[in-house]
């Protein structure tokens, strides 16, 4: 397992008490970013720009600069003024540079972040695996017995945080693209209710499901990142997990789970019970209906095809064939089918709200499997079957919350030194504050000081 690194809050405290300087912390991040562990992580680096920004930030200890000059990475899906947003593809490499920062980037800069670089990703964010045939695939930062997948699509974001190259990895989550790599690398990934963070300046995959959010090393860091990105304040609503009404289900979420994942999740359930949480096992048959949605069509396929259709006509051979295949499926959806999918989703969401409203949160494994070797899913037709099988397994659990328009956080629940296992704490839309507070208390239970 990778060495324990201090979280953002710890480093901010060290800077403000004079134990280290912001420049020293930034140089440590740059050292990590140039190490072998970050191979294929960065599309572009901004080291010297970041160093110059340290000197330009007038008062790193001021409350208006809560990030105190620390390094933040930006998924290659976001506009940064003067740079080309490639979205992990060669299709856009000659596109004109962005004329302004994405809103999320602006908010991070205003909070005192130093941008260390643009991170690699699944091409156009269309994969939960994290493989990129154009720019290479970052290796998992935790399991290093063999090069293993990082998870996607925010692959570089996760590895930048796991290695210490960045303290926040800005990314997006359309079907799990923040939570999957967080879970596979022992990190925290929070997907807020989508409407809370502006998407302006982020290249879309699905305008219905996309969420702008971040990967961090702790829940308290996730809260800070969310406050900056959303412009909201997360209040303290609970001080103990005792008495919390937590539901879990084996329907869908535990299907095809690795024995290790199932055992680790069961152990976590026991710890929660022993701490006084009120755990309720529910059936939630509505989850079985998601297969019907797949038969009706796919928001990501239909909406991405709408955005990409002219590029596919002119540059289709330059796309990752796996990405192009999924986008082309969107061409088959008629307007009436698309409206039918919207209506079916709305009805399903209403019934899910009724089933879940009495619980403080739902808990489940974030993903049901450990990260396989990159070689198993490497680019090439001979690995396509394995890739699509693994991609479907990785996306299955977290994509439930995107379809629900909900909020969710993945936190590590494995024992120190054990392989990574993420537990997802989730609910319907606009329960973000509650989810974050519950996650904070569960994190303290799992990792006592």
Which tens digit of pLDDT belongs to each residue from 259-284? 999 999 999 999 999 999 999 999 99
pTM: 0.97
Q: Answer for the pair 116, 166: CB distance below 8 angstroms, yes or no.
A: yes
Confidence of residue 1 (pLDDT cuts 50, 70, 90): very low
pLDDT average, residue stretch 234-242: 92
Checking if the pLDDT of 439 tops 80, the result is yes
pLDDT average, residue stretch 293-316: 93
The DSSP-derived string for 360-377 is: SEEEEES-SSPPPBGGGG
Checking if the pLDDT of 56 tops 70, the result is yes
Where in the sequence numbering do the catalytic residues fall? 75, 153, 177
Checking if the pLDDT of 82 tops 50, the result is yes
Judged by average pLDDT, the poorest of 213-217, 286-290, 422-426 is 286-290
Cα(79)–Cα(105) distance, integer angstroms:
8
Mean pLDDT of the residues in the chain: 95
Query: What pLDDT is stored for residue 268 in this prediction?
Result: 98
Which tens digit of pLDDT belongs to each residue from 313-372? 999 999 999 999 999 999 999 999 999 999 999 999 999 999 999 999 999 999 999 999
Cα(78)–Cα(38) distance, integer angstroms:
20
Cα(170)–Cα(78) distance, integer angstroms:
9
- The full set of domains in the chain, from first to last, is 8-230 (3.90.1300.10), 245-446 (3.90.1300.10)
* Whole-Å CA distances, 356 to 278, 360, 404, 431, 432: 15, 9, 11, 12, 15
* 17, burial (CB in 10 Å: exposed 0-12, middle 13-18, buried 19+): exposed
Checking if the pLDDT of 59 tops 70, the result is no
Name the pairing type of β-strands 114-119 and 422-427. Answer: unpaired
Helix (H) / strand (E) element for 436: namely: helix 432-446
* Whole-Å CA distances, 390 to 146, 151, 209, 229, 275: 17, 10, 21, 31, 35
Query: What pLDDT is stored for residue 321 in this prediction?
Result: 98
């Amino acid at each position: 397992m990778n060495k324990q690194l201090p979280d953002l809050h710890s480093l901010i405290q060290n800077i403000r008490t004079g134990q280290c300087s912001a420049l020293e912390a930034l140089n440590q991040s740059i050292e990590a970013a140039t190490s072998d562990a970050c191979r294929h992580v960065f599309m572009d680096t901004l080291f010297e720009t970041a160093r110059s920004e340290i000197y330009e930030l007038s008062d790193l200890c001021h409350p208006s600069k809560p990030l105190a000059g620390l390094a933040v990475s930006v998924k290659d899906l976001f506009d940064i003024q003067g740079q080309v947003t490639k979205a992990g593809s060669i299709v856009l490499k000659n596109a004109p540079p962005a004329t302004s920062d994405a809103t999320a980037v602006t908010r991070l800069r205003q909070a005192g972040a130093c941008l260390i670089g643009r991170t690699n990703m699944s091409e156009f964010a269309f994969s939960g695996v994290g493989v990129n045939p154009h720019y290479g695939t970052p290796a998992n930062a935790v399991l290093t017995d063999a090069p293993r997948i990082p998870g996607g699509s925010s692959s570089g974001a996760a590895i930048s945080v796991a290695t210490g190259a960045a303290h926040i990895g800005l990314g997006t989550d359309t079907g799990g693209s923040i939570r999957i790599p967080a879970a596979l690398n022992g990190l925290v990934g929070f997907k807020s209710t989508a409407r809370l963070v502006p998407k302006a300046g982020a290249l879309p995959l699905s305008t219905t499901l996309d969420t702008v959010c971040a990967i961090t090393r702790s829940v308290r860091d996730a809260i800070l990142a969310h406050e900056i990105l959303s412009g909201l304040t997360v209040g303290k609503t609970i001080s103990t997990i005792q008495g919390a009404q937590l539901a879990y289900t084996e329907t869908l979420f535990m299907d095809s789970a690795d024995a290790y994942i199932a055992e680790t999740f069961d152990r976590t359930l026991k710890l929660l019970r022993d701490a006084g949480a009120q755990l309720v096992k529910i059936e939630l048959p509505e989850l079985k209906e998601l297969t019907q949605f797949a038969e009706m069509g796919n928001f990501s396929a239909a909406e991405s095809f709408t955005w990409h259709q002219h590029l596919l006509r002119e540059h289709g051979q330059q796309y990752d064939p796996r990405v192009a295949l999924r986008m082309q499926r969107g061409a088959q959806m008629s307007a009436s089918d698309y409206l039918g999918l919207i209506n079916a989703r709305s009805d399903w969401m209403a019934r899910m709200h009724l089933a879940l409203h009495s619980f403080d949160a739902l808990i489940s494994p974030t993903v049901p499997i450990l990260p396989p070797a990159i070689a198993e899913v490497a680019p090439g037709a001979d690995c396509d079957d394995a890739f699509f099988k693994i991609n479907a397994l990785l996306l299955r659990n977290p994509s439930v919350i995107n379809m629900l328009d909900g909020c969710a956080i993945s936190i590590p629940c494995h024992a120190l030194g054990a392989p990574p296992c993420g537990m997802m704490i989730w609910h319907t839309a606009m329960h973000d504050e509650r989810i974050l507070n519950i996650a904070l208390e569960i994190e303290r239970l799992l990792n006592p000081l």
